[in-house]
Amino acid sequence: MKLAISLCVALVVFQVAAAVQTRPGSIEGSVMDADGLLPGVTVNVSAPNVVAPQAFTNARGRFSVSQLPAGTYQVSLQLPGFRTARGVVDVKPGAVSGVTFQMAVGSLEEVVTVRSSRPAAATPPTPQVASTGPVRIGGSIQEPRKIKDVKPEFSPEADQAGAEGVVLIDAVIG
């Protein structure tokens, strides 16, 4: 009788341990920059032989990816205007792995060159533009897009003289 009870207890313990080992885990986290939490970040979670759904941070900069088999996952975070952030997260069976990622502001730029069809007679001095450094825009930066392409116009006299110079462009970021 004691043997039968011991076998039943061992069988139940074995089944519970097996069930815990196969329970999926999850990754929950937040994404920040230097000024606070970032909403709208694309979160990609990957591991060999595992297809995880793509997630996005909510208005509070938080995300969750659930139903993940236990294992080690590569996490990649992307948001236009920021450098891609990457990390590794270990997911345990039936557990929530909490993480916080930091994203750094990236750089976006465009160069415009203006040339005349004739050589310049004399090069005017280059005006000095005061630089105040990067301007912080906020947590919902979107990738810039050109709405209107304006080509500089030369007067016929400047074109004939082969004039060259610096063109200052004002841009509005909205």
Sorted by where each starts, the structural domains of the chain and their CATH numbers stand as: 25-102 (2.60.40.10)
Q: Point out the residues of the chain with pLDDT beneath 70.
A: 1-21, 107-144, 167, 169-174
Per-residue HEC secondary structure of the chain comes to CHHHHHHHHHHHHHHHHHHHHHCCEEEEEEEEECCEECCCCEEEEEECCEECCCEECCCCCEEEEEEECCEEEEEEEECCCECCEEEEEEECCCCEEEEEEECCECCCCCCCCCCCCCCCCCCCCCCCCCCCCCCCCCCCCCCCCCCCCCCCCCCHHHHHHCCCCCCCCCCCCC
Q: Give 139-150 pLDDT, tens digit per residue.
A: 566 666 777 777
Instruction: Output the pLDDT for position 125.
Output: 64
